Structure 1
Amino acid sequence: MFAHPSPPPAVVTYQAPCGDHNDLAMTAAGTLGRALAERLAVPVQAVGVPAPVPDGGWEEALDGAGPDLAALADRYRSVLAGGHRPYGALSRCAAALATLPVVTGSRPDAVVVWMDAHGDIHTPDTTGTGYLGGMALSGPLGWWDSGHGAGVGDGRAVLVGARDLDPAETAAVEGGRIACLPPGPGLAAELAAWIDGRPVYLHLDCDVLEPGIVPTDYRVPGGLTLDDLHAVCLAVTAAAPLVGAEFAEYEGFDRATGRHVPPGDLLDALSPLWSGEQGPFPVVG
């Protein structure tokens, strides 16, 4: 097991609309980012402000978010150029349309660990809902042109915890276009083996967790526990250098129970990503 040098952290929040069904995650991204920045003793670098959710499908959502996504990409370029490790608190997964091309442009050797109950690998030709978030990873993979770039190469992304794939997404996985590690025993070890020492950028959609742990827009049974998430983060930090991480779809307010759920437990589970704590998975090579 090897310790990896730790670049100074930078916390970036994105709170503008970006394929939202409601406005909860825009506000909650600020809450999450501030809580993380307090733990890391760094300032928050804020991009965008909450605004009404626009009507329409993915094209209207993408057009409306365009200026804020461009600003997010610029902020990420600045962070990475300054030698910092970005930690993004993002309202929705679709913000990755801006972050991932910048990360892979700076670190083409990096792989993307995409933790999500869904695949988010639809394209305009396969989406049945017209939801921009369902195309959040396929844009950076270069499967369609979002206008914000690509750069995640073949074999350099893995779906982790996915369990609600549409037929077109299942076909992409079964056809070998992208790897998929579903929930289950041994997930952390399987992920460490897949990473195989390559630098990692981690994306978390909070709906990868079992419903009810934190409030999210989607609720898909069979998800990870916080202990599972902690184990995955330990595996990542032991297996490879961490380029950065981003956390999306935390809504903060549970509409089912009417209670606010602070992000402390979630951040505890994610803490190996910045604390230097490492799991039992040795780096190969």
Structure 2
Amino acid sequence: MRDVAIIGVPLDLGAGRRGVDMGPSAIRYAGLRERIVALGCQVRDLGNISVPLAEQIEPPTPDERLRYLQPIAHAVRDLAQRVRDVVASGALPLMLGGDHSLSIGSVAGVAHNRRIGVIWLDAHGDYNTPETTPSGNIHGMGLAALTGRGHPLLTDVLGQMPAVHPADVALVGVRSLDDGERDALRASGVRVFTMHDIDRRGMASVMEEAILHVSVNTAGFHLSFDLDALDPNEAPGVGTPVLGGMTYREAHLAMELVAASGRLIGLDLVEVNPILDERNTTALLAVEFALSALGKRIY
């Protein structure tokens, strides 16, 4: 029986649009805990980490290259420490977001004192740095920071830098890259699977290769799932939608393959924005995908 610990991260300081801080509540409201319990898991909901509202902080300047750096750095360090303790207790940490900058903390916590793989399921590369970012939004820098590129407050969260090696990362579903991060990804060693690869090869082939890639010589892999990986017609409640994304069934198949691998050691569900959603559709999808990743089967 698996022990799952839920941690909410009501963080929207890393994003360009407000509202994603309500994502943890929306996902909980969609029945997450009860449905995981129904799978036979032991579930602890540890509540939310404390994150200040944007209205409580001095606003960034229009040309700032790292918007809200200090409060985000504080939040991800707090999260990393909590995740580290959850992992030490033998539980699988399940983070609810909140914008994708939270994964700087979640992955660092899962990776503490060990080598792990990461599957980053996302429409975007999240591989910008202060030098390449067009927006200054830190949710577009998370994967870069985890692989050692960026500001020290983000790259060295728990004294392990980089938190993960680029060669142990697979980026799946990407279809929107800034020029600077495209060049950096090509030189990084990160294994990139675009929507073109999924269209051409099929989701099963892509995910099987991604899972194998991040499992070699690692303790397992952390899955960081940005709901904008799906097509916005499927998941409308995200802040940075990009046409041409995964279908509902493709995403489900990806999660079923994750569960079948037996290698999942941490999970993020991020960028659920109830303000932009329709009847909590995107949060409901997040719950379904979590269940599949944790082992729910059709038959």
Could you say whether these structures have the same fold, taking a TM-score greater than 0.5 normalized by the shorter chain as the test?
A: yes
- Partner SS for 1:175: helix
SS at match of 1:161: strand
Match of 1:112 among 118, 121, 132: 118
SS across alignment from 1:137: helix
Residue 225 of structure 2 aligns to a residue whose secondary structure is: strand
Q: How many residues align?
A: 271
Q: Which amino acid aligns with 1:167?
A: D
Counterpart CA distance in 1 for 2:262 and 2:271 is 26
1:177 aligned onto 2:164: no
Rounded Cα–Cα distance in structure 2 between residues aligned with 1:118 and 1:60 = 19
* Paired residues of 2:84 and 2:112 also in contact (CA < 8 A): no
1:114·1:160 contact (CA, 8 Å) conserved in 2? yes
Contact kept in structure 2, 1:121 and 1:138, CA below 8 Å = yes
Q: 1:260 offset after TM fit, Å?
A: 4.4
State the shift of 1:278 in Å. Answer: 9.5
1:80-95 equivalent positions in 2, closer than 5 A: 80-95=87-102
Match of 1:247 among 226, 251, 269: 269
What is the letter of the counterpart of residue 18 of structure 1?
L
Counterpart amino acid of residue 18 in structure 2: D
Identify which of 94, 97, 110 aligns with 1:103.
110
Partner deviation per Cα, 1:204-257 (whole Å, 9 max, x = no partner) = 1111110132211111011001111111111222234111110110012336x7
- 2-side partners of 1:262 and 1:175: how far apart? 34
Task: Check whether the contact 2:119–2:170 (CA below 8 A) recurs between aligned residues.
Answer: yes
Deviation at 1:48, TM superposition (A): 1.9
> Is residue 168 of structure 2 the alignment partner of residue 156 of structure 1?
yes
CA positional deviation for 1:276: 5.3
Distance 2:65 2:184 in 1: 21
Separation of aligned partners in 2, 1:115 and 1:24: 21
Query: Where do residues 137-156 of structure 1 align in structure 2 (5 Å cutoff)?
Result: 137-148=143-154, 149=156, 150-156=162-168
Q: Aligned partners of 1:147 and 1:107: how far apart in 2?
A: 20
TM-score when normalising by structure 2? 0.82
Aligned ranges 1:24-103 → 2 under 5 Å = 24-33=19-28, 35-41=31-37, 42-45=43-46, 46-49=48-51, 51-52=53-54, 55-56=59-60, 57-103=64-110
Which sections of structure 1, spanning at least 5 residues, go unmatched?
A: 1-5, 280-285
The Cα shift of 1:151 comes to 1.5
- 2:133 is paired with a residue of what secondary structure? coil
User: Which one has a larger percent helix, Structure 1 or Structure 2?
Assistant: 2
| Counterpart in the other structure of 1:263 | 283
Does 51-60 or 31-40 show the bigger shift?
Answer: 51-60
**1:266 partner SS:** helix
- Structure 2: which 5+ residue stretches go unaligned? 38-42, 157-161
Counterpart amino acid of residue 123 in structure 2 = A
Name the CA distance, whole Å, in 2 between partners of 1:232 and 1:262. 17
Deviation digits for residues 27-63 of structure 1, max 9, x if unmatched?
A: 1222214532232243421212562355324534121
Q: Is the contact between residue 18 and residue 91 of structure 1 (CA under 8 Å) also seen in structure 2?
A: no
Matched, 1:187 2:203: yes
Q: Supply the distance in 2 between the matched residues of 1:269 and 1:59 (Cα, whole angstroms).
A: 31
For residues 3 and 89 of structure 2, the distance between their equivalents in structure 1, rounded to whole angstroms, comes to 9
TM-score, normalised relative to structure 1: 0.86
Percentage of matched positions with identical amino acids: 23
Question: Is contact 1:229-1:270 (8 Å) kept?
Answer: no
Superposed CA RMSD: 2.4
CA distance in 1, matches of 2:287, 2:280: 16
CA distance in 2, matches of 1:172, 1:268: 34
- With 37-46 and 138-147 compared, the bigger mean Cα shift is at 37-46
Structure 1 residue 232 and structure 2 residue 254: aligned? yes
Name the amino acid aligned to 1:39: R
Instruction: Give the structure 2 partner of residue 203 of structure 1.
Output: 224
